[in-house]
Structure 1
Amino acid sequence: MHVNEQIADELALEALKLIEATGNDDIVNDIAKTIGASSTTLEESFLTAVRVRRAEARARALIEAAKARVAESDGAAQSPSS
């Protein structure tokens, strides 16, 4: 991984953890503005990393929900009927 992408991903992970703890979504924009003042390349990589991590979280939640539905239907199929 290129150093730019590595730094951007680390910052994205920290920002997303901070958003989870505080509920303040403005953190991403504040960090992006600060980064962009010095490096537009890092700013773009950071914003991309945030979008990718958020998309990953949504996909994982969808997968877990599907697994739960499968487990639930398997449990119902294996239950003895009355």
Structure 2
Amino acid sequence: MALIDELAEKLAADVMKAQLELGVDRLYVEVGNHIGTSSPSLQEAFLTACRLHLSEQRGRSFFEERLKALSAARKDAS
């Protein structure tokens, strides 16, 4: 259902942004639990979207650090 995915993604993006700004790394769990009291389907879609965002953030962080290390190694070799 497209509406569930759209709503879940928008809320997940907002929650992920707030988590980064506030330094609260489990806010999405609290929001997910609250959603689950009225819509388990939306809760599942929301938590999936949050996991995707978190995974992307971890992957991007690893990539950026690895890229720095490779660039530094290349400069040292020259």
Task: State the TM-score bracket (shorter-chain normalisation).
Answer: 0.7 to 0.9
| Alpha-carbon shift at residue 34 of structure 1 (Å) | 2.7
Distance 1:29 1:77 in 2: 46
Please give the alpha-carbon distance, in whole angstroms, between the structure 1 residues aligned to 2:4 and 2:46: 9
Matches within 5 A, 1:1-82: 2-78=2-78
SS of corresponding position for 1:38 = coil
CA distance in 2, matches of 1:76, 1:12: 42
The CA deviation at 1:18 is 1.0
Q: CA deviation at 1:54?
A: 0.4
Greater radius of gyration (CA): 1
The answer for unaligned runs of 5 or more in structure 2 is none
Instruction: Name the % identity.
Output: 29
Q: Could you tell me how far 1:56 is from its partner in structure 2?
A: 0.7
Q: TM-score, normalised by structure 2?
A: 0.84
What TM-score do the two structures reach when normalised by structure 1? 0.80
Q: Segments of 4+ in structure 1 off by > 4 A? A: none
Q: Quick one: which amino acid aligns to residue 47 of structure 2?
A: L
State the aligned residue count.
78
Return 5+ residue gaps in structure 1 as ranges: none
Shift of 1:4: 1.2
What displacement does 1:26 show? 4.5
The 2-side partners of 1:76 and 1:23 are apart by 36
